[in-house]
């Protein structure tokens, strides 16, 4: 099996998420890293790209240069990942899609709902894959939760409780540090800070696992550190397309919580509980039964969980392998397209542009509801309203 | 030290909470159980009382009989606990207070805010102790959290996240069982089910630990089981008198959660986390530091925690001893009054009629806000509004 | 039901275990605390006894005085607890048994095997109850483990792994503190320190749960703090009467472990795991199945576990209630004897003089094997060898 | 940075450990997988190699073919991993070393002590790297434990308690399954089963973390399933070169334990606890302090831990990344050698042939001691005895 070729925009030296993408793409040997425009400073980007083994002519100084360079090649990259700061996602993703590349874009996919709708339209028109990196959905046991819900183990879903609450921006003395401050400044971050940064992961996961979309929501957004304009803590109640009630707490001032992404799902016939920090165990209680520990890698799991597992039970698989599962899914989708065959349904799980758009609509709904004392607000993108 | 004498109304054979009260009162040898009207059926109550060692003339058939009997005695009980169904708390508590007895009333103290205000007025007028059994505040480490907040370890409190979410009423097939059904029927349960039953424990604990009162709230109340009129799940956002933001989730359909009472408190200088099911460990992270495990019974805790501990570190103390701490506090208060001295400040922690009243106001605010799409609502009792 | 009357020897002001006994005896209202010789200093003992509510003539200055006083009374105590330092257990227990009292003796029951055999003979001869306070066997879920083994849920037991390893004597600077030093001094403590103090709890629990006796053992005993003569850490391998292999680690230098008593039992058909610090959860995995969490107080447990539980599921019951279960068992045994009826089999679980004797034989076997480079040694008391 | 080139022997389709090696080598982009003899069946091996992207002429049918092929190439592989069944490790490792290749050999490195000494001699003579895959030492927090011990945080080490006890061979009905049976058959597995398979990981980790070697040991080995000749459970007590006492439990019949590798280290000044199944948290208690949770990826850790971490705190890194750390260390060693510079000391942590040899000596000592009723036995290889 020859490798697919892969290019990265952003993720330069010292970036937070770059290493996870390179790990994720490399791990399974599906993608060869052959092109990149890694930094907002052309020289640094070229230098770093070469230091990572890119050929000099594919260690680009700028994404436009990369777009031009790759477009002109017979062996152009099969997939482009966009891992730059948020405000640039839209134009970069749009440009690569329109030039006929498959794209994996970091979250949030865009800065506005309108941009999100445009990306969806372009992806549909071009027929190119456009994925959004809700990478935590790559965990085997998150996929197993989805499979359990889909096959009816929980019955009708009544309630979903999602959290993404950490304490990494709790230091008031540090709040004016430019590295932190921009996130809470509407001029740079848009209409939402903590919800747009973390809350959307949790909300997307609620949808991913239940198979239901968020329709309306009511938000309580607050700035626990007073100098902030945008929220550092939010509680969002929501209603989903299949009737589930949702509750989502997100925070960046919850000192003592390292990461804090978790999901609880309660149905008529049982309840599930999972937390990102211990991702290899899933807690399941059937109605009237006992709490059971479902281990990643154990026998008897769903095909979706099996496919997303690599090492034997009892050995942790961590976040880079969750990201890797998104890449493996996309590799399968790309190969299936090349081969003109249907893709493995157990791989057909990577988040799509539609998901990125839905998140954007939710971000604006949260911001609007938060300003309007929690008024219930339509959370759907206009193009998905009926 | 001679024992104080104690009487119990309710808590008959097979009742849920009766045993915990008898344990709580007995454990430290402070109270001798000498009188009771234990059952709504006179004969059963008398019989059960005698089987528990009450003298025949103090195993009453009815609380009015007990009130008359005890009022007439020189050795009348020092304290009366009211552990009957909710709708009877008001008249029984009122009657005993007015007759000059100290009372420990089960929660909720009353069915309406007006009744709550009346109890507060009577307690103030008579000078009798009127406590409400928010027994979970008796845990040593809950008291230690309060002490940490009070002495400034966390700095200003930004955020409190409280939960009391379990799964014991999740079975739709069982929902029509009369034992469960009445709780969700407004005719019998009043304006709120799950919040009034469990949510008020969590909300009171938020106040107890932070030393702040709830001022306004917004609630999202739902009935996950459709045949129910009252809520089986609620999310309540609130604001507290010292500026803290509050979030409270309560549920009875969260399958897989056995009890589900927990509290997280986040301040400028650190965060705390505690859960009722593992009450002997408290998790504390100072800003910029590492998560630490504070063990009940360890050296270096607050006087409040020390006083509330009985056995050496590493040995669990459970819920009956938390209840016992409420009783010990009250014994100290009663003895201090008898002796005409100030009580030990480390014992001055039992919840008061004022707390019971505040809970009632919160219950009505939750119900009103829940009906009004989450409108922010004053949660203070009229007599405490300024 | 009239209360039984109870007397306590030892457990004076500031003692470690006295409060737990008074709690344990009081909690269920079975015993009235009416007599005591609480301190090795006569006046302090009398004073403290009266402060705890004893009548002046039953607040004795000395256990011999108490023995004489009680023997002469028509309303003599129904049960005497001996909670004095180890070296005095034998003579006090012997004296009370011979005078016709039921006795609950603290562990270790005696200082030698010979004394242990004598106590067993006296108990048998007098027909009086002689129990030993392996109080941790009072936990509901420990009893449930025993019931599960007895009814065959695990099949034949292959392996038992017991631990009682804490870190409370790990400070070398503190090792010469007299409060700690005597424990490691053969002149005062006998042939063993950590095994005799803690190890025997774990070994007894292994027997209690499996229903098998320890027959032979091999020990590795070490003094991690060099100034100590007796061991502060030991590993004991053993073989049991039903073929189970045993492993037991005990330590007092394991910094970071608060208490450290735990038991794992592995049979042909499943495995169990329980730890004293979180005593309300038991972990059970049937062969080929999933790990399940068994909660104290849940439905569907054994009669033994149900009888040993007081409060509803999700509420912790702690160590004082485990002790209380020993007292409740004994109350049932005493009442059954008084009433001339068979006792409730679910209460017939309190540890006996025979258990105390077996522990003594194990202590001497550990000491001997430890000195002989781990030589396998008969761990049975002579009177139980066939 | 150009990639190093890497070859694999063993690890064919469906093998257990092959995927972990390929992940480990690929993850950081240090090694390109260019050659392999993956299967004991030539055709299957060639086919599978090509399916993984090997060039046809480097997808060898046999390790001798690979040895010949690679030896003849200018671009011969920089590193060969030997991941075949145990009995073949010696000859394959020997052959590649002698031909001048660096080798990473799976554990156990050899089947006898003599073979182990020979490998050490060859490695020393050729100057080639010869590593043994004690891959669990690659975890960042295991390396942090080692660093803490080395810099004196714990003071002198008193005690090490290691476990590797799981339940995957507990099914008696399955014991005759050839897949399982050979492991307990001396003809195929040598002198030890469970200790040689799992115990040596735990024992090596004890040495790795403390920096002390095992000198003498006493073992209790048992076959819980009777049809087995070799042990499925063992307890090993040992003494280390720096005076530490060691205890090690290994089992394959401990139903309910998924993997069961853990380490506790107790010194004069503090204690550490770590478990492989939750590898991103390390529990540390300084003497007289509180238990603290050290998170992988947090600030303030040792250079060794920092170097071994890839993603931000709060995100799990799992076992494949631990393996990857061994590969990264070796890449650094190989590059340093090529560049004629000293290697990064924080990378100089991969286990060596000497470690593989020591494990072999321990295996034979355990087997001998187990047969001799636990007699204390020299556990050092003859060449390391003084
Ligand atoms: N999916 C997840 O779990 C997850 C986690 C963290 C971050 N992210 C997302 O990843 C994105 C990057 O975040 P980060 O934390 O790595 O940011 P970062 O600031 O650490 O790194 C951004 C990198 O992008 C480079 N860059 C900036 N502009 C560029 C341009 N125009 N062309 C090429 N390179 C450019 C920078 O030089 C830098 O190397 C953000 O959108 C963020 O929301 C997602
Ligand atoms: N604080 C807590 O944690 C907690 C926990 C559980 C219950 N409660 C409260 O305790 C109260 C009792 O709850 P429960 O679950 O034990 O109820 P229950 O129905 O199990 O028992 C109620 C008992 O009261 C007796 N009774 C009823 N009416 C009486 C009357 N007029 N006079 C005398 N006895 C009467 C009944 O015969 C019965 O024995 C409720 O108000 C409940 O909210 C509090
Ligand atoms: N079962 C358990 O879990 C457990 C736990 C701790 C202690 N113990 C046992 O309990 C016993 C007491 O231990 P402790 O830690 O409470 O000891 P302690 O030293 O704290 O208290 C001993 C008490 O006995 C009194 N005393 C001593 N000699 C006496 C005498 N001759 N007559 C009357 N009173 C006398 C002392 O004045 C003191 O009040 C020991 O045998 C110990 O092994 C058992
Ligand atoms: N370090 C660890 O944590 C760890 C974990 C598991 C296994 N192991 C070790 O890895 C080795 C392999 O174990 P496994 O469980 O993967 O075994 P396995 O039986 O699953 O796979 C062995 C593979 O080696 C191939 N093979 C056999 N003989 C060969 C030969 N002569 N030439 C080329 N290929 C050959 C087989 O075809 C098969 O693909 C063992 O030595 C085992 O102890 C180590």
Nearest to D10 by CA among D177, D164, D191, D133: D133
**Smallest CA separation from ligand 2 atom 3, residue:** B135
Check residue A386 and give its pLDDT: 78
Contact (Cβ atoms closer than 8 angstroms) between residue D202 and residue D208: no
Taking the centre of ligand 4 as the mean of its atom positions, its distance from the CA of residue A27, in whole angstroms, is 20
Number of A/B CB contacts below 8 angstroms equals 123
| Chain centre distance of CA A216 | 21
CA distances for D298 relative to A258, B179, D312, angstroms = 9, 51, 8
B139-312+355-371 CATH: 3.30.360.10
Q: Could you give the 3-state DSSP secondary structure of residue A8?
A: strand
Q: From the list A249, A291, A373, which residue is nearest B256 (CB)?
A: A291
Q: How many C-beta atoms lie closer than 10 Å to residue C62's C-beta?
A: 17
Q: From the list B290, B295, B298, which residue is nearest D292 (CB)?
A: B290
Residue of A nearest to D29 (CA): A26
**Smallest CA separation from ligand 1 atom 32, residue:** A40
Indicate the top mutation candidate among A20, A60, A84 to test ligand 1's pocket, ranked by most ligand atoms within 8 A of CB.
A84
Q: How many C-beta atoms lie closer than 10 Å to residue A98's C-beta?
A: 13
Residues of B in contact with A374 (CB under 8 A): 218, 237, 374, 376
| CA gap D131, D117 in Å, rounded | 14
Tokens representing residue A175 in the block: 């709040």
| CA gap A203, A248 in Å, rounded | 7
Q: Could you give the 3-state DSSP secondary structure of residue C286?
A: strand
Check residue B231 and give its pLDDT: 98
Contact A293 C291 (CB under 8 A): yes
Residues of A in contact with C292 (CB under 8 A): 290-293
Check residue D121 and give its pLDDT: 98
Q: B29: pLDDT confidence band, cut at 50, 70 and 90? A: confident
Tokens representing residue C128 in the block: 């009086």
Q: From the list D22, D277, D310, which residue is nearest A320 (CB)?
A: D310
Q: Is A160 on the interface with B (CB under 8 A)?
A: no
Kindly give the parts of chain D with pLDDT less than 70: 1
Contact (Cβ atoms closer than 8 angstroms) between residue D162 and residue D263: yes
Check residue A176 and give its pLDDT: 85
Q: From the list D3, D53, D311, which residue is nearest A19 (CB)?
A: D311
Contact (Cβ atoms closer than 8 angstroms) between residue C208 and residue C367: no
Domain made up of D4-136: CATH architecture: 3-Layer(aba) Sandwich (3.40)
Q: What is the pLDDT of residues D295-352, one digit of tens each?
A: 999 999 999 999 999 999 999 999 999 999 999 999 999 999 999 999 999 999 999 9
Residue C28 has pLDDT above 90, yes or no: no
Rg over CA atoms, chain B: 20
State whether the beta carbon of C88 lies less than 6 angstroms from ligand 3. Answer: yes
| Chain centre distance of CA D98 | 22
| CA gap D75, A236 in Å, rounded | 59
CATH 3.30.70.2740 fits A139-315+355-371, yes or no: no
> What element of type H or E holds D68?
helix D63-71
State whether the beta carbon of A40 lies less than 6 angstroms from ligand 1. Answer: yes
| Chain centre distance of CA C126 | 22
Q: How many C-beta atoms lie closer than 10 Å to residue D98's C-beta?
A: 13
Number of A/C CB contacts below 8 angstroms equals 20
Residue of D nearest to A139 (CA): D316
| CA gap D84, D88 in Å, rounded | 7
Q: Which residues have CB under 6 Å of ligand 2?
A: B 9-12, 15-18, 37-40, 63, 83-86, 88, 106-107, 133, 135
Q: What is the pLDDT of residues D205-224, one digit of tens each?
A: 999 999 999 999 999 999 99
Q: What is the pLDDT of residues C331-382, one digit of tens each?
A: 999 999 999 999 999 999 999 999 999 999 999 999 999 999 999 999 999 9
> CA of B290, closest CA in chain D: separation in Å?
6
State whether the beta carbon of D9 lies less than 6 angstroms from ligand 4. Answer: yes
Q: What is the pLDDT of residues C232-253, one digit of tens each?
A: 999 999 999 999 999 999 999 9
Per-residue pLDDT, averaged over B200-215, amounts to 98
Residues of A in contact with C281 (CB under 8 A): none
Contact B218 A251 (CB under 8 A): no
Contact (Cβ atoms closer than 8 angstroms) between residue B63 and residue C66: no
Give which of A312, A318, A322, A324 to mutate to test D binding, by max D Cβ within 10 Å. A318
Residues with Cβ within 8 Å of residue C140, at least 6 apart in sequence: C296, C297, C301, C304, C305, C306, C308, C309, C317, C325
**Smallest CA separation from ligand 2 atom 29, residue:** B40
Check residue D28 and give its pLDDT: 86
CA distances for D328 relative to B326, D79, D312, angstroms = 59, 12, 19
Averaged pLDDT score across all residues of chain B: 96
CA distances for C288 relative to A313, B64, C264, D171, D194, angstroms = 13, 60, 18, 8, 20
Residues of A in contact with B284 (CB under 8 A): 256
Residues of C in contact with A293 (CB under 8 A): 290-293
Contact C1 B51 (CB under 8 A): yes
Nearest to B90 by CA among B78, B99, B82: B82
Angle, vertex CA B107, rays to CA B103 and CA B111, nearest 5: 100
Domain D138-311+355-371: CATH class, spelled out: alpha beta
Q: What is the pLDDT of residues C75-90, one digit of tens each?
A: 999 999 999 999 999 9
Contact (Cβ atoms closer than 8 angstroms) between residue B297 and residue B315: yes
Q: From the list D23, D29, D258, which residue is nearest A310 (CB)?
A: D23
List chain D domain ranges: 4-136, 138-311+355-371
Q: Could you give the 3-state DSSP secondary structure of residue C362?
A: helix
| CA gap A195, A189 in Å, rounded | 11
**Residue D89 CA, closest ligand 4 atom number:** 41
State whether the beta carbon of C12 lies less than 6 angstroms from ligand 3. Answer: yes
Q: What is the mean pLDDT of each run of 10 residues along chain A (386 residues)?
A: 92 93 90 96 97 95 98 97 97 98 98 98 98 98 98 98 98 89 93 98 98 98 96 98 98 98 98 98 98 97 96 94 96 96 95 98 98 98 94
Q: C288: pLDDT confidence band, cut at 50, 70 and 90? A: very high
Taking the centre of ligand 2 as the mean of its atom positions, its distance from the CA of residue D130, in whole angstroms, is 73
Residue of A nearest to B222 (CA): A245
Q: How many C-beta atoms lie closer than 10 Å to residue B299's C-beta?
A: 8
Check residue B1 and give its pLDDT: 64
Q: From the list D290, D294, D295, which residue is nearest B293 (CB)?
A: D290
Q: Is A257 on the interface with B (CB under 8 A)?
A: yes
Nearest to D312 by CA among B292, A315, A319: A319
| CA gap C276, C142 in Å, rounded | 9
Contact C255 D270 (CB under 8 A): yes
**Residue B44 CA, closest ligand 2 atom number:** 37
Q: Is A150 on the interface with B (CB under 8 A)?
A: no
Q: C1: pLDDT confidence band, cut at 50, 70 and 90? A: low
Is the Cα torsion angle B219, B220, B224, B227 positive or negative in sign? positive
Q: Could you give the 3-state DSSP secondary structure of residue D264?
A: strand
| CA gap A261, B261 in Å, rounded | 20
Q: Is D235 on the interface with C (CB under 8 A)?
A: yes
Residues of D in contact with C253 (CB under 8 A): 158-159, 266
Question: Which DSSP category does C366 fall into?
Answer: H
Angle, vertex CA C27, rays to CA C23 and CA C31, nearest 5: 90
Domain C139-311+355-371: CATH class, spelled out: alpha beta
Pairing of strands B233-240, B214-222: antiparallel
Nearest to D352 by CA among D203, D86, D129: D129
Contact (Cβ atoms closer than 8 angstroms) between residue A352 and residue A132: yes
Check residue A356 and give its pLDDT: 98
Number of B/D CB contacts below 8 angstroms equals 20
Cis peptide before A366 (omega within 30 of 0): no
């Amino acid at each position: 099996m020859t490798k697919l070729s892969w290019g990265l925009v952003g993720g330069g030296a010292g970036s937070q998420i770059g290493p996870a993408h390179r790990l994720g793409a490399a791990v399974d040997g599906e993608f060869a890293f052959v092109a990149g425009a890694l930094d907002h400073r052309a020289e640094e980007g070229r230098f770093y790209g070469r230091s990572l083994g890119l050929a000099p002519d594919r260690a680009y100084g700028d994404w436009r240069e990369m777009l031009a360079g790759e477009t002109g090649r017979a062996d152009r990259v099969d997939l482009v990942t966009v891992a730059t700061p948020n405000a640039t996602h839209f134009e970069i993703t749009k440009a690569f899609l329109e030039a006929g590349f498959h794209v994996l874009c970091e979250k949030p996919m865009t800065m506005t709902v309108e941009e999100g709708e445009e990306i969806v339209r372009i992806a549909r028109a071009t027929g190119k894959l456009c994925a959004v990196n809700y990478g935590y959905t790559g965990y085997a046991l998150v996929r197993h939760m989805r499979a359990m819900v889909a096959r009816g183990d929980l019955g009708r879903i009544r309630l979903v409780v999602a959290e993404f609450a950490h304490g990494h921006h709790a230091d008031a003395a540090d709040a004016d540090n430019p590295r932190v401050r921009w996130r809470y400044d509407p001029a740079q971050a848009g209409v939402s800070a903590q919800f747009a940064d973390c809350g959307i992961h949790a909300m997307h996961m609620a949808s991913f696992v239940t198979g239901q979309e968020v329709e309306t929501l009511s938000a309580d957004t607050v700035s626990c550190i007073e100098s902030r304009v945008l929220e550092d803590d939010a509680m969002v109640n929501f209603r989903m397309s299949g009737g589930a009630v949702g509750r989502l707490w997100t925070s960046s001032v919850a000192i003592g919580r390292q990461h804090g992404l978790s999901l609880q799902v309660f149905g008529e016939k049982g309840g599930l509980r999972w937390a990102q920090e211990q991702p290899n165990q899933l807690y399941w209680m059937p109605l009237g039964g006992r709490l059971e520990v479902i281990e990643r890698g154990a026998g008897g799991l769903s095909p979706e969980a099996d496919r997303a597992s690599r090492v034997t039970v009892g050995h942790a698989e961590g976040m880079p392998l969750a990201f890797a599962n998104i890449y493996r899914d996309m590799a399968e989708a790309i190969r299936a397209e090349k081969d003109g065959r249907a893709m493995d349904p157990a791989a057909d799980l990577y988040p799509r542009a539609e998901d990125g758009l839905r998140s954007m609509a939710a971000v604006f709904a949260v911001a609007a509801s938060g300003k309007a004392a929690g008024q219930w607000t339509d959370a759907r993108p206009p193009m998905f309203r009926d």
